[in-house]
Amino acid sequence: MTRMVETTYRDALREGLREALRTDERVFLMGEDVGSYGGCFAVSLGLLEEFGPDRIRDTPLSESAFVGAGIGAAIQGMRPIVEVMTVNFSLLALDQIMNNAASLLHMSGGQYAVPLVIRMTTGAGRQLAAQHSHSLEGWYAHIPGLRIVAPATLEDARGMLAGALADPDPVLLFEHGSLYTMKGQLAEDAGAVDIDHAAVRRPGTDVTLIAYGGMLGRALDAAEALDADGLSAEVVDLRTLRPLDDATVLESVRRTHRVVVVDEGWRSGSLSAEIVARIQEQAFYDLDAPVERVCSAEVPMPYARHLEQAALPQVEDVVAAAHRTKG
């Protein structure tokens, strides 16, 4: 029988890093404060002492420089893991990510792959204000040449890194900041997980709730509330945002005939808009109601807690949207 252990999302991420460093000498971690400080969110705590400064590298505060260094190391055969403190700061390295990491394989005629993993924190809910709190993973999911993954469970936090490192393309791994302290049971021998497919986290028959990352918990809580109202909600965790797993989404839509997409990003030009478009294109005649979206308010994320909560999708918003699909 597999032994289960109590752990947190943060600790699961650290175990994934530790396993990668132990099993492949080409793997190293670099970023701001990842070494002696243990990472801005304590994910890499203790790894410097275990693996030394050649494998756990503190960098200057220059996202463009250290992401560029990671790209160069990947081209030369290493397997770098680059940590960017928050998704907002990743915009300082957008040129490196889009014009180099995502493009070099194509522009070199297949000669130069960039097997780079970039980890970063995303999302709000912790009163860190506009420069530290946005959900921009949908922007990156727009870029060909990248794979975008968003672990929302302990199993995915522990196991997605292995698949990301095995991918010949650059992978961006988005860790929602509100999940770091999430506790639960994880198999002691937990390892690599599938990063190609979405997952049905809760079966249902009346409406599909599609979510990812920090919004998965909101969707599951909404499903519980809807169950009390006599509405059976199926919850789909996208897991990988590029390439999207259309098949799993469409299978669920064809079972329930009603859909709510929950996305912490802004509504305009969002990942939710892409998901809705694909459903309309491929399963229009399976729908019994227009697809609903629940997104963040289109404002810079406020600092004040009551305003931050007002700007974010809440369980009651998802429940109301699900009821609207029933007419």
Annotated active-site positions, please?
Answer: 63, 132
Asked if residue 310 lies in contact with residue 279, where contact means CB atoms within 8 angstroms, the answer is no
Residue 298 buriedness (CB in 10 A; 0-12 / 13-18 / 19+): exposed
Return d(Cα 35, Cα 32) in angstroms, integer: 8
**Helix ranges, the chain (H):** 9-23, 47-51, 63-75, 87-90, 94, 104-107, 137-140, 154-166, 215-228, 246-256, 271-283, 305-311, 315-325
3-state secondary structure 38-65: CCCCCCCCCHHHHHCCCCEEECCCCHHH
Q: What 3-state class would DSSP assign to 123?
A: coil
Q: Give the pairing of strands 117-122 and 79-86.
A: parallel
Counted residue by residue, the chain has a size of 327
Q: Is 213 left (phi over 0), alpha (psi -120 to 50) or beta?
A: left
